[in-house]
Amino acid sequence: MAWLGLLLLLVTGVRAQCPTDQPPVWPEQLVIVQRRIPDDGSGNATTVTYYDYTAGANLVIITNDNDEANPLYDLELTTGHSYYFTPTTQTCQHIRFPVGVLRPDWLANATFLGETKILGKYVLAWTKADFIDYYADSQDCSPVSWYFHTMQARFDTVYYSPGTTVADTSLFHPPSYCNDIVREDHSFHAEHQ
């Protein structure tokens, strides 16, 4: 009889609902492509994020629409070091960033805002620490969009692949032209981990 219930579930196309009593937890590895849309209209961009908690790295490649030849790489490591570099110009800024790589459950203790519709999808909305508004697909919990409060920009998901990591893991290491001059950044507190 259990097979009849499974068959009925498959035929009707009903999927499990994303829970509303706790925010989504990320897989330990994911690739996400998003469109960054700032509030002030200063310029859209495509971001590709390679999140790999097991490798201790998060790499975000930001390609501005008005300067596609010079993408900015944002490499965050669990060591608390972040590197912002542009391979085409071999420029680099090394920042001490105490948070490091966010844990998969980094949305823990977020406040549930309810269900709404974004980009044609029903989503569950969460907010955390005047830092981010996060919108997850109400059916499968995948990220649909998020909004960074301080950056004042929305990031809309166009591709999401859980369980995938960067093809070339050497990208999880800062390039040789990044020196050891470190700037401390205290603008992001530990409660965002």
Answer yes or no: is pLDDT of 192 > 70: no
Answer yes or no: is pLDDT of 138 > 70: yes
Q: Left if phi > 0, otherwise alpha if psi is -120 to 50, otherwise beta: which for 164?
A: beta
Determine phi and psi for 9, rounding to 5 degrees. Answer: -65, -45
Going by the DSSP 8-state scheme, the letter that residue 43 receives in this structure is -
Q: Which two tokens stand for residue 74?
A: 């944002």
Mean pLDDT of the chain, nearest integer: 88
**pLDDT tens-place string over residues 34-92:** 999 999 999 999 999 999 999 999 999 999 999 999 999 999 999 999 999 999 999 99
3-state class of 155 per DSSP?
A: strand
Q: How far apart are the first and last CA of the chain?
A: 45
pTM: 0.85
Identify the H or E element spanning 85.
strand 81-86
Task: Give the integer Cα–Cα distance in Å for 88 and 96.
Answer: 23
Q: Left if phi > 0, otherwise alpha if psi is -120 to 50, otherwise beta: which for 148?
A: beta
The band of 182, judged by pLDDT with boundaries at 50, 70 and 90, is low
